[in-house]
Amino acid sequence: MKRISVIGLNYLRTPVEIREKFYFTKQELPEALKRLSRIDTVSEAMILSTCNRTEAVIVSTGGKKTAELAAETLSSLRNISRGKIRKYFYNFYGADAVSHIFNVASGLDSMVVGESEVTGQFKDAYNLAAAEKTTGAVLLTLYQSAMAAVKKIRAKTSVSQGNVSVSYCAVNLATQVFHGLSDKKVLIIGAGEMANSAATGFIKKGSMGADVINKTYSKAVDMAEKYGGRAYGFDSLEEALENADIVLCSTASPEPVLTKKIVGDVMSKRGHRELFIIDIAVPRDVEDGVKNIKGVHLYDIDGLKKTASNSVSMRKSEVSKAGKIVVELVKTFEKDLYMREAAPIVGVIKRRIYDIAVRESAVTAKQKGLSTQERENLEKTIIATVDRVIASHMAELKKRIGKGAAEKNGLINTVKEVFKGYE
């Protein structure tokens, strides 16, 4: 039977220096999806790659062996020995995989619990895979069910209410360090969604404005005007750094934009003024050696975990409610998936039963010398009776699948037990 597996690594067990190696850009994902799809037992695949996780979601008939092949594929795409990073990977299978996906899509598995950014990222991941034709009926149903889970959790709980995002945590961290931001100069490197979210947060926390530097200067100008700051091009990076107290980095650059040399040169001109840098990009925007420069305080995305966990503790009851919703929705999804897989098997049994019923009605009609109309009426009556019998068996099948019989004993065995004597 086709089952869903999740293979990946995330912020909970994998440091950012490993996660960034497994980050796949939008341009890299098509090839990665094709490579996964070439595994013999894989029929469908999608990849979610964000700052906090990279996960392959596959539909296969190969079970855990296929999951291991998928992990090896991801490793080979990054030219990394599987043995060196095996401890970081996790694998969820069947109902556990579905539960994990629902938790991820709804933000319950995020570093900042309840954040909505991952929902959009999950949508983008599915749509890209669909465009690459690596999805099918199972992943479509999974995607639709995950979105239904997101909707229900947001409607029934307040787990996503308020400011819950990585950007929000970054702003909070800066506020805590400086005990307020009213006299601090903020520089945002990047002009994407997270950069804008951070700029909004800095303004709300009292900053007088946010300077912006971006590869596309026009975007920097637009964003700086919006947040009351000054726009810079990357040719003015050192000047921008000299003027800043707080720097937030959030670009999509594959290489560091703040190197040890650049920051070292800037710090030599700042006197005793310290520089606070928050790097929420993956791959990281700031070279690792920058943290060793005197006067520089560098936090990467993993450094926000404590701030994020504090925000979670205030919403524990809501997280618990959301978790219960996920449990019920997973049961429904699994039952529907098994029933879909059972349909061809049940269809064969149905046709066999109908054939027997029609043959027996024909024999009876001949023996009794029934007229054409009487034969048709007899056949209709017998078929209606068969339909009721099959319906009762289908109800029993759904009941057993709902209680986990198919997971425990296998789908085919469960169908045979329910339709014993007909198979």
Residues with a catalytic annotation lie at 51
Q: Is the dihedral of CA 127, 18, 194, 219 positive or negative?
A: negative
Q: Are 170 and 198 in contact (CB under 8 A)?
A: yes
The tokens for 73 are 């594929």
115 touches 50 (CB < 8 A): no
Burial tier of 96 (Cβ tally within 10 Å: 0-12, 13-18, 19+): middle
Which residues, in sequence order, are CB contacts of 314 under 8 Å at separation 6+? none
Alpha carbons within 13 angstroms on the beta-carbon side of residue 350 total 16
- Here the tokens at position 408 are 């425990």
Long-range contacts of 178-182 (CB under 8 A, 24+ apart): 178/245, 178/246, 178/276, 180/205, 180/206, 181/205, 181/206, 181/207, 181/246, 182/206, 182/207, 182/208
